[in-house]
Amino acid sequence: MNDRKQHVINKAHQLFIEKGFQATSIQDILDFSGISKGTFYKYFSSKSELLIAIYKATFKKLQKERDDLLIGKSPSDIDVFIKQLVMQMISNRKNKLIALYEEVMSTNDVDLKQYIRIARLRSLRWMYTRFIDIFGEKNKPYLLDCAIMFQGLMQHNLQYNRLATDSNEKISQVVRFSVNRLVKMVDEVAQAEEQLHPPELIDKWLPGLQKNNHELIVQFYKIVSPMRNCITKHFQDKNEQEKYNELLDFIQEEIMHTRAPRKFLIESTLQTLQNNTAGVWEKELHQLNEIITAYFHQLEENEEEH
């Protein structure tokens, strides 16, 4: 993403936080960011598309920060999960994401509402997969239910906590308190062997790599996150950094969130990375290629079964 487009995103986000999404006009954005209408429409087809760009930029940053916390740590370490949640809650509060969500859901913008619904489902899916890391495969049949209940528990605990204080330090206490309740919840539901929502539902709600193999997801993130760090380390030119990050973004989006991933485009993107970054991450690219090959192999097997 070029600097000027990022500048517009940052300024618009500030306006949306201060005035609200609906109360902010495109002219407000033009005036505040110092760009022309033609420049705005060069980057965004509408104010809604701009808001989606804000969400994507925020989620991308959060995702990297969450993944970085796992580097060198065991995915089953519940303290790492608590740190990830604290980081996420502070980010949500800082960026006023919940308020923007609620405002968007009261509009008549169908596309924007659909994006928010998918974003929430992705958040649920992340939590569900982390629960598998923490509580193990034996509890998997009950972990989607627990993820749904835990999201409600966290939301209300944080909501009432805000009545008492705006301090980010309190968020850590709320998260730890809620996670302690979660541990008891998982034990109770598993012992009772009660299930409301089968885990397979997450496959129907969201397409992508997740419907095939949880282990592949973990491997994918373990490889891509260090590759992003290598970009900053090995390439000083910002344009080069942007180019390689965008190539990784494309692969991740295509694999994780596309109903019908385009194999030829992914292979072409991998080849571009291979040709232009010789020696920088040869081992990682080989591992990434193996994961993607396994992913498409599973897709082909699923098609044959059906």
The arithmetic mean of pLDDT across residues 7-36, rounded, is: 91
Q: Tell me the whole-structure pTM to 2 decimals.
A: 0.69
32-41 pLDDT per residue, tens: 999 999 999 9
CA distance 78 to 252: 26
Q: Which residue has the higher pLDDT, 300 or 294?
A: 294
159-212 pLDDT per residue, tens: 888 777 655 568 899 999 999 999 999 999 999 999 999 998 887 787 654 444
Q: Which residue has the higher pLDDT, 87 or 279?
A: 87
The arithmetic mean of pLDDT across residues 133-141, rounded, is: 93
